[in-house]
Amino acid sequence: MTAQSATSTRTTSAAEIEALLAAAHAAARPLAALRPSDRGRLLDAVADALDGAADELVPVAQAETHLAEGRLRGELKRTTFQLRLFGELLRDGGYLDARIDHADPEWPMGAPRPDLRRVRVPLGPVLVFAASNFPFAFSVAGGDTASALAAGCPVLLKAHSGHLELSRRTGDVVAGALAAAGAPAGTFGLVVGTAAGAAALRDPRIAAGAFTGSIPGGRALFDIASSRPDPIPFYGELGSNNPVFVTEAAAAARGAEIAEGFVGSFTLGAGQFCTKPGTLVVPAGSGLVEALRRAALPPAAPLLNDRIQAGYAEVLEGLEANPRLEVLAQGPSPLADPPSPTLLLTTVADMLAEPHALQAECFGPTAVVVTYDDEAQLAPLAETFEGQLTATIHGTDTCAVAGLVEVLSRKAGRVLWNEWPTGVSVTYAQQHGGPYPATTAAATTSVGTAAIERFVRPVAYQGFPQHLLPEALREDNPLGVPRLVDGAREG
């Protein structure tokens, strides 16, 4: 059996956690020893199995998350696409970053160069904490699981309490597909319960952690990972406001279009996207404020679960009580369950006076509109934001915003021009991460093929005979992977 069968949604016991950890530890070496193309075959098998189980899984997801069928089917398609995309990455082999420096007695450093060969190897078992807002794409078989398995790391998946039955059933599909495809026993396992997840993270057999969720929850887990006797990398996505800056020229040229696009973006998925634009900065007197005041806000939509509903209402009440904010537009039942969307209004001077409070992430259908008098205020305002997943500029080709772009490039992992941040494409060049508190590891991404880099580490082999080297480093290159040989791309 490749994984513990998730036969119930009860909390995983200490004995079960021990069995899962022992199995993952035992699976680490044989999984790492598989050729990358063989691991790609495992990922394809999981993708095929999930596609085949769609009619079973989607209704369960609807019942547990309040999300619409169309949204969930699209998300499941994204999930299986990213599994197959990692399979393609493995078959290419470039992620190994294989490098060979042949011995050179005349190396100009002043001493002979030894034979050195460097390649990336798997870290070991990874503990993934599933997210609530994407029950497929950031959950049991989501991007963290896909990238860790692709790297050659067994995965223990801590299920999210917001969709436990879906997690159980998805876990069974993943486990069954891996077993049928011949994966080592222990390649995947499911953990249920907050305490169980924390206990697993403390265990020395876990080599890395990955998390998507709130700042308090992610920081608590990050502290556990970093305070262990053997600290491990912890890749947490925690929170983001995702500010949008509109220039005077853009407001004049297409203000109505920007207003419509913003409403659609901040209310998409009832405002429960990690890339939801939480702040819109617009020129005073441009007509954008009035356009937003008159905008048709979408009807109330249920949030994912009671905990998110309660947290959303608490943050919104705090924002509405702040004297620096006023209601710009609001549906008929902003604090009800389900809540109507809310737009709040302030000035750049007020946000500069109290940035931390006015830039608080409100996870749900609320955003803050900020008016400015001079574009010279934009870069100083951008400096007040903490680390972000995204930051956006709406402008024209003649706008003098190079300084603003520079600031936002330091603040965010993805900077957008005349687009909206709520679409996160799974691609080779995607960056879904940013400075703290957006993530705990700004140099990494949790979306796109570069996500695999979180779960591998480089090892250099010096002076070894050919038969003892990893295949990617042997002279005959039996894997056919791209390599850097003596400083030049091979072939």
The full DSSP string for 292-360 is HHH--PPPP---SSHHHHHHHHHHHHHHHT-TT-EEEEE-S-TTSSSPPPEEEEEEHHHHHHSHHHHT-
Secondary structure letter of residue 184 according to DSSP: P
Which residues make Cβ contacts (< 8 Å) with residue 205, sequence separation at least 6? 21, 22, 24, 25, 124, 125
The yes-or-no answer on residue 237 being catalytic is: yes
**Interior angle at CA 431, CA 183 and CA 228, nearest 5:** 60
Q: Are 414 and 432 in contact (CB under 8 A)?
A: yes
Calculate the alpha carbon distances from 418 to 261, 366, 386, 405 in Å: 10, 21, 22, 13
pLDDT tens-digit profile of 158-204? 999 999 999 999 999 999 999 999 999 999 999 999 999 999 999 99
CA gap 245, 243 in Å, rounded: 7
For the segment 6-34, what is each residue's pLDDT rounded down to a tens digit? 445 689 999 999 999 999 999 999 999 99
Contacts of 78 (CB under 8 A, 6+ apart): 136, 137, 426
CA dist 297 and 274 (Å) reads 20
Could you give the dihedral angle defined by the CA atoms of residues 326, 328, 334 and 335, in that order, rounded to the nearest 10 degrees?
Answer: -10
Name the catalytic one among 64, 274, 362, 375.
274
**pTM of the predicted model as reported, rounded to 2 decimal places:** 0.95
290 catalytic residue (yes or no) = no
- Per-residue tens of pLDDT for the chain, all 491 residues: 344 444 456 899 999 999 999 999 999 999 999 999 999 999 999 999 999 999 999 999 999 999 999 999 999 999 999 999 999 999 999 999 999 999 999 999 999 999 999 999 999 999 999 999 999 999 999 999 999 999 999 999 999 999 999 999 999 999 999 999 999 999 999 999 999 999 999 999 999 999 999 999 999 999 999 999 999 999 999 999 999 999 999 999 999 999 999 999 999 999 999 999 999 999 999 999 999 999 999 999 999 999 999 999 999 999 999 999 999 999 999 999 999 999 999 999 999 999 999 999 999 999 999 999 999 999 999 999 999 999 999 999 999 999 999 999 999 999 999 999 999 999 999 999 999 999 999 999 999 999 999 999 999 999 999 999 999 999 999 999 999 999 999 96
Name the one residue in this structure whose structure tokens are 């006076």.
353
Q: Which of 75, 237, 248, 375 is catalytic?
A: 237
What's the chain's average pLDDT?
96
